[in-house]
Structure 1
Amino acid sequence: MAHCEQVPPAALTADTVLSRMRALDTALPPRDGVAVFNGVYLTVAREAGLRTEGGRFTDVRGATALDVRFAQRYLAAVDAAEDGRRPPACWRPLFQFRRHPGVRPPQFALAGLNAHVGHDLALAVVDTCRTLGCEPVDLEAEFDRVGELLVSVEERIHDELTPGPDLLRIADPLTHLLGSWSLERARDATWAAARALWALRRLPDVAGEFTDRLDAAAGFAGRLLLTPLPD
């Protein structure tokens, strides 16, 4: 089933999104793969929220709408898994392997980032355009700002979750695995996908097929990122 449909607006705001993520942070065991990603994402989201409240961004309405729609996609995947429903394909590897003893914390975090960027962000741009009645080009500055937030997530994955000097050893398979995924390339592909989905909005069958392919590709990459590694 295609996941290109608009996520219901419900009553989520930036505050309720952060509240949901804090609740997950408290409820989930620290070693749980979803908890690992949620913890990194929550830390960066808190900082981004503070900066937005401080008036740093010129379009707070657009920025907040995109932030909320983006996070809402992740929370919808969590809700689906908790309710026994199938989350989008991009998120399934993380939920399937979340307790695997051979998968290291940086892999969980990077797999979550891959799902969130490779699938959720493009759909969040389309969701936000529908909500605000604008075009993707009108959100380009906000998209770039979200990209800065994602860079912060990626930096925390490397700085806080990777082991010490052992990671620098060229023979460590984790070094190769973390280097196999590029946030910059993923962001570029996501922006192109968002524009394509917006152009296809009056062709729901084609848009749905396109979204399914996007979802499946992100899921395939996520499964590779979660390859169990030796200690």
Structure 2
Amino acid sequence: MAQSEQLAVRPGPGTASVDSVVRRMLAYGSAWPAGDGLGVFNRVYLAVTQEIDRHIDEGRFTDRRAAVTLDVLFARRYLAAVDAAAEGLRPPACWRPLFQYRRHPGVWPLQFALAGINAHIGHDLPLAVVDTCRALGCAPPDLEREFERVGDILVLLEERIREDVMPGPDLLQIADPLTHLVGSWSLDRARDGAWSAARLLWGLRDLPDLAAEFTERLDAGVGLVSRCLLTPWR
């Protein structure tokens, strides 16, 4: 079984809430020092989760139950990685670069944010879709509207994220390779890849050995991209 599956937490619908996830992330933000790379991503992800919660409360999701379940199970993949690292266990490969470089002085905040988003969308999101299908007794096509709505919120927030943690213009002129690096990563492509991976994993649900192998390779590939995104520049 792939390690990312071993660390998975799959509560049924109603066993957790978006509010409980928000409280966990707020606690992380209070505990981690300023400049902590994981804290940079946590701050970004907290804003995304609160925005999704607001959309749920406003009735912007077609299926509220599916939206809440997907949002919570998605977030718990990240929380499980943090818990694993805190307990001295190895988190999924996609998260390891961020844990390893979180205090590196040569990595810009934007790099930390994008590496976390890459790990969470590229690896955690497809697994969360499958988790949600199992919890609700449905299939990925039944979640497509909720998936797209979450993706639309992420796209809207990505521009704000880049503005908040992007180095100033003078630094960007000095660090042109950094501009090239962060510009080569696309949230839209990551989201499309996550949906394809979720559909493939669902198709492999009766073939556990193949599903585990695919999950492990997905984890490693996403981790490689995260490591590239965290290339030190100073």
Residue from 77, 80, 84 that aligns with 1:80:
84
The within-5 A match list for 1:60-139 is 60-139=64-143
Residue 98 and residue 168 in structure 1: after superposition, are their counterparts in 2 closer, same or farther (change >3 A)? closer
Return the alpha-carbon distance in structure 2 between the equivalents of residues 156 and 167 of structure 1.
Answer: 19
Aligned residue for 2:34? 30
Alignment deviations for residues 171-205 of structure 1 (CA, whole Å, 9 cap, x no partner): 62221111121111111111111000000001000
The within-5 A match list for 1:1-231 is 1-2=1-2, 3-4=4-5, 7-9=9-11, 11-166=15-170, 169=173, 172-230=176-234
What are structure 2's unaligned runs of at least 5 residues? none
Return the alpha-carbon distance in structure 1 between the equivalents of residues 120 and 22 of structure 2.
Answer: 16
Aligned amino acid, residue 16 of structure 1: S
What are structure 1's unaligned runs of at least 5 residues? none
Q: 1:168 Cα deviation (Å)?
A: 5.7
Alignment deviations for residues 142-179 of structure 1 (CA, whole Å, 9 cap, x no partner): 11111123213422331100122236649622211111
Return the alpha-carbon distance in structure 2 between the equivalents of residues 190 and 171 of structure 1.
Answer: 30
Return the alpha-carbon distance in structure 2 between the equivalents of residues 225 and 111 of structure 1.
Answer: 6
User: Which stretch shifts more, 51-60 or 114-123?
Assistant: 51-60
User: Which stretch shifts more, 49-58 or 112-121?
Assistant: 49-58
User: Which stretch shifts more, 27-36 or 44-53?
Assistant: 44-53
Q: 1:41 Cα deviation (Å)?
A: 1.0
Return the alpha-carbon distance in structure 1 between the equivalents of residues 16 and 71 of structure 2.
Answer: 11
Return the alpha-carbon distance in structure 1 between the equivalents of residues 163 and 49 of structure 2.
Answer: 17
TM-score, length of structure 2 as denominator length: 0.93
What SS is found at the alignment partner of 1:66? helix
Superposed CA RMSD: 1.6
User: Percent sequence identity over matched residues?
Assistant: 64
TM-score, length of structure 1 as denominator length: 0.95
